[in-house]
Structure 1
Amino acid sequence: MTDDRDKWNERYRDDDFDLPDEPVPELARRIDTLPDGRALDVATGSGRNALFLAEHGYDVAAVDVSDEALAQARARAEERGLDVDWIRADVTDPEGDFQLESRAYDLVVMSFFYAPELLPELTEALAPGGVLVYEHHLRSSDPIEVGPSDDWVRYRSNELLRACLDLTVLHYAEATRHGKEDDRPSAIATVVARKSCGGAQSYPAERDMRDVPRE
């Protein structure tokens, strides 16, 4: 974990390391329809999603491996008068101090963190009826200027969708997104999925099924 922490601390100290200030677009779009209560922001970075959730009344825990990122997030929270439980930890470490609680969160958000092995634990951490919102970089044959240079830390087409089929998929999209400031393109996969109650799967309303692409 030390190597990852040092790497990300160095990046967050770099003034040229540009991160979005806005929350995940699909999170912002659906915020009024998502369950209230406890929220977990995984790989929070400088806290854009955690702060947005705190502003909307959630009891928020936000975890990241980087001390520098969390220092920036805390400063932003203090400026806005927001209360967030900031946790420095490596969520992928099975022996680490931070372990995901079972059925503990009504909303889990993760963005720009490649951790497919973590998805079963995130699913278990959702309370019945809880919702996962996750977006990450996507492999693309088009020229892409934002995100990791190695394809192995990008999802393949529909890989993220298939990984979430134990949940009720409310929305899935693969799209090219352009930065507001420099218009640089990025390829992004986004999923919004709900943990169904009981032993049977449930399905989104017909109007939401249009969000799920047909293969």
Structure 2
Amino acid sequence: MTTDQDRWNARWKVRGLASSGSSSLLELVGPWLPAAGSALDVAGGGSGDAVALAVAGLTVTVADVSDAGLALNRKRAAQSGVAITTVQVDLENDALPPGPWAVITLANFSHGPLFGCLASALAPGGILAVVIATTTNLDRHAKPSLSFLLESEEILGLVGNLEVLHHSESWRVNGRHEAWLVARRSVYS
């Protein structure tokens, strides 16, 4: 049986550094991004989001199941002259790296129980930024499959009592129908 780690390792080995790099996350979270602090890139694999956050001045940790993706992220960071920390973790079964985090980003990974953990891992005043394709995406694309997508507006119910700063769902420049969300934990919690 092929594991999630095996599947993602194979994907990142094929994609390599030629992959597009970062997702839409930095475009989304930019207006709310602090100048310094700690950031956790959840399910960051080999994307360039962690490197972009580090270039922006944050101290970044990437958590992902794929050791190949994490190695790719380390290589991107070295080429960009920034440092990141990588942690191999099965996000469906294991705990997040300990926080609290000033910023948490999540792109293209949907696992319902994880959202409660994300909210509680934020520092008071911390920012959560999420980009996940919705079921509307299936109108034009067979993948990601239904189990990896969110229903319309579902993301709003997953962030608990975080203050929603931005939410939109539409067809994006990348051709996918995505939910974009930025939310903040209260400074009093």
Give yes or no for the alignment of 1:111 onto 2:107. Answer: yes
The Cα of 1:77 is off from its aligned counterpart by 1.1
Aligned partner (choices 129, 149, 154) of residue 154 of structure 1: 149
Q: Are 1:146 and 1:186, in contact at CA under 8 Å, matched by a contact in 2?
A: no
Aligned to 1:193: 183
RMSD over aligned Cα, in angstroms? Answer: 2.4
TM-score (norm 1): 0.78
The Cα of 1:20 is off from its aligned counterpart by 3.1
What does the per-residue CA deviation read over 1:130-149, in whole Å, with 9 as the maximum and x for residues that have no partner? 0100110101177323741x
C-alpha distance in 1 between matches for 2:65 and 2:137 = 31
Identity percentage over the alignment? Answer: 31
Q: Are 1:107 and 1:131, in contact at CA under 8 Å, matched by a contact in 2?
A: yes
C-alpha distance in 1 between matches for 2:77 and 2:89 = 19
Q: Which 5+ residue runs of structure 2 have no aligned equivalent?
A: none
The Cα of 1:165 is off from its aligned counterpart by 4.0
Written as runs of structure 1 = structure 2, the 5 A alignment for 1:1-215 is: 3-15=3-15, 19-25=19-25, 27-35=26-34, 36-94=36-94, 99-101=96-98, 104-140=100-136, 143-145=139-141, 147-148=143-144, 150-179=145-174, 185-198=175-188
TM-score (norm 2): 0.88
Distance of aligned partners of 1:3 and 1:193 in 2 relative to their CA distance in 1, 3 Å threshold: same
The Cα of 1:197 is off from its aligned counterpart by 2.1
What does the per-residue CA deviation read over 1:29-69, in whole Å, with 9 as the maximum and x for residues that have no partner? 54253233000000112131100010011011111111111
Give SS of 1:14's match.
helix
Distance of aligned partners of 1:58 and 1:141 in 2 relative to their CA distance in 1, 3 Å threshold: closer
* Greater C-alpha radius of gyration: 1
Q: Are 1:147 and 1:186, in contact at CA under 8 Å, matched by a contact in 2?
A: no
Q: Which 5+ residue runs of structure 1 have no aligned equivalent?
A: 180-184, 200-215
The Cα of 1:195 is off from its aligned counterpart by 0.2
Q: Are 2:23 and 2:107, in contact at CA under 8 Å, matched by a contact in 1?
A: no
The Cα of 1:88 is off from its aligned counterpart by 1.3
Q: What stretches of structure 1 move > 4 A for 4+ residues in a row?
A: none
Distance of aligned partners of 1:146 and 1:84 in 2 relative to their CA distance in 1, 3 Å threshold: farther
Q: Are 1:43 and 1:62, in contact at CA under 8 Å, matched by a contact in 2?
A: yes
C-alpha distance in 1 between matches for 2:21 and 2:143 = 16
The Cα of 1:100 is off from its aligned counterpart by 3.8
Aligned residues: 187
